[in-house]
Amino acid sequence: MERFITGFAEHGYLAVFVLMALESACVPIPSEVTMLFAGYLVSRGRLDFAAVALVGCVANLAGSWAAYAAGRSGGRALVGRYGRYLLIRPHDIDRADAWFARHGEAAVFVSRLLPVVRTFISLPAGIARMPLGRFSLYTFAGCLPWVFALTGAGWALGESWRRVLGSFSIASVAVAAALATAAIVWLLRRRAARERPS
């Protein structure tokens, strides 16, 4: 994956845009590799720092719109049809809608700073029909520090930009493990509640 990303990103701003947009559209392309390498290209004088970072942010927003649209147009129907296999009831969807109405801005903003979660937060936002304007604002605001920090790290590290990839891999595994654990606990509790005598 790293070889593919770096080889493609060699083509400049358009390549960075495509890679970052795909990541935000729920394609598992790590933005850590894309933007760290883009920062390295800045250190070599091949790209402009501000321009490539802004391209990364705009691409994140564009990809997020695609995932948001998928969630808004068909997500609720899919959850309604297949949710019972995951013990998700229509009532749970209503509760998620209410939760997003109260906390959606913070959830979208904070998730953009977290590995793994940042790739998929647009889908539940779309399913919950979070207003597009607010979704776009908080998505872009959350992308700014992440993308600029990665670009800056790649620029500062230069040839050694790969050094920090291990830290991001550990963070991604930790976040994924925490999410998997939370999902398992939730499913077990829901199953126990269903099996409990009324």
22-48 residue pLDDT tens? 988 888 788 888 999 999 999 999 999
Residue 81: predicted pLDDT = 62
pLDDT recorded at residue 158: 86
What pLDDT score was predicted for residue 159?
84
> In whole angstroms, what is the distance from residue 36 CA to residue 165 CA?
9
CB 139 within 8 A of CB 112: yes
Q: For position 56, what pLDDT does the model report?
A: 95
In whole angstroms, give the CA distance from residue 95 to residue 142. 25
Asked whether 157 and 40 are in contact (CB, 8 A), the reply is yes
Q: Is the dihedral of CA 50, 9, 5, 17 positive or negative?
A: positive
Half-sphere exposure of 167 (CA within 13 A, CB side): 8
Among candidates 158, 153, 149, which has minimal Cα distance to 118?
Answer: 149
Amino acid at 58: V
pTM above 0.75, yes or no: no
Other CB atoms within 10 A of residue 145 CB: 13
Residue ranges for the chain with pLDDT beneath 50: 86-87, 171-176, 179, 182-183, 186
